[in-house]
Amino acid sequence: MSKIVIVEHPIIKDYLSKIRNKETNTKEFRNAVKQLSVLIGYEATRNLKTQNIKVQTPLCMTQCEELVNEDITIVPILRAGLGMLEGMLELLPSARVGHIGLERNEETLKPREYYFKMPGNYETMQTFVIDPMLATGGSAVDAIDKIKEKGIKNITFICVIAAPEGVDRLKEAHPDINIYMGTLDDHLNEKGYIVPGLGDAGDRIFGTL
């Protein structure tokens, strides 16, 4: 059964207030997105498999668990998804990284693909697709279409802020994937921006305002 989870935590709420604030500068914004990625990613990786290992402590042998060395790939949707990559790699330092370049046309709101590169072993791969914003859902749906075309089945989408319209669209197009978010906002405005949102995530992460 796929999951749709809003990760509730006071520290997440605190960082969300920082990224929403238009006075937050690029350095603080980037750091807050990174921290949010760790916190939301922590919950999104809760079902990773572990295996038993024996460990010698300074006092005795004991039974512990370690992560199974699974084939995990993190897939940021460029550009803004790159802002979440460092945080996700802190959780999963051995993960591979695929890249999908998508840019939303400001008039039609449809995404245009300009880059796609995924590492191999598609059959067994477990993917975490990351993008801070799930607005109309067009970019997430297209990215996951492309990933599925490769034969990849195990897909989790992680975002920071989602709009109800985007969640509905993604759920309808890909009912089998898990969706994790830091918060679910109110609505999209006529320009396809999430309200209250944070403005343009890519511009705020990369200082291209």
Q: Which residues belong to the annotated binding site for 5-phospho-alpha-D-ribose 1-diphosphate? A: 79, 104, 131-139, 200
How many chain residues interact with ligand URA (CB under 6 A)? 10
Which range binds ligand PRP by CB under 6 A, 32-40, 42-50, 135-143, 149-157? 135-143
Residues of span 24-83 touching ligand PRP by CB under 6 A: 77, 79-80
Interacting residues with ligand PRP between 115 and 134 (CB under 6 A): 131-134
CA distance 112 to 101: 8
Q: According to the binding rule CB under 6 A, does residue 103 interact with ligand PRP? A: yes
Binding mask 140-179 for ligand PRP (x = CB under 6 A): x-------------------------x-------------
Residues 41-80 that bind ligand URA (CB under 6 A): 80
Positions touching ligand PRP (CB under 6 A) are 77, 79-80, 102-104, 109, 111, 131-140, 166, 192, 200-202
Residues found near ligand URA in the complex (CB under 6 A): 80, 133, 135, 192-194, 197, 200-202
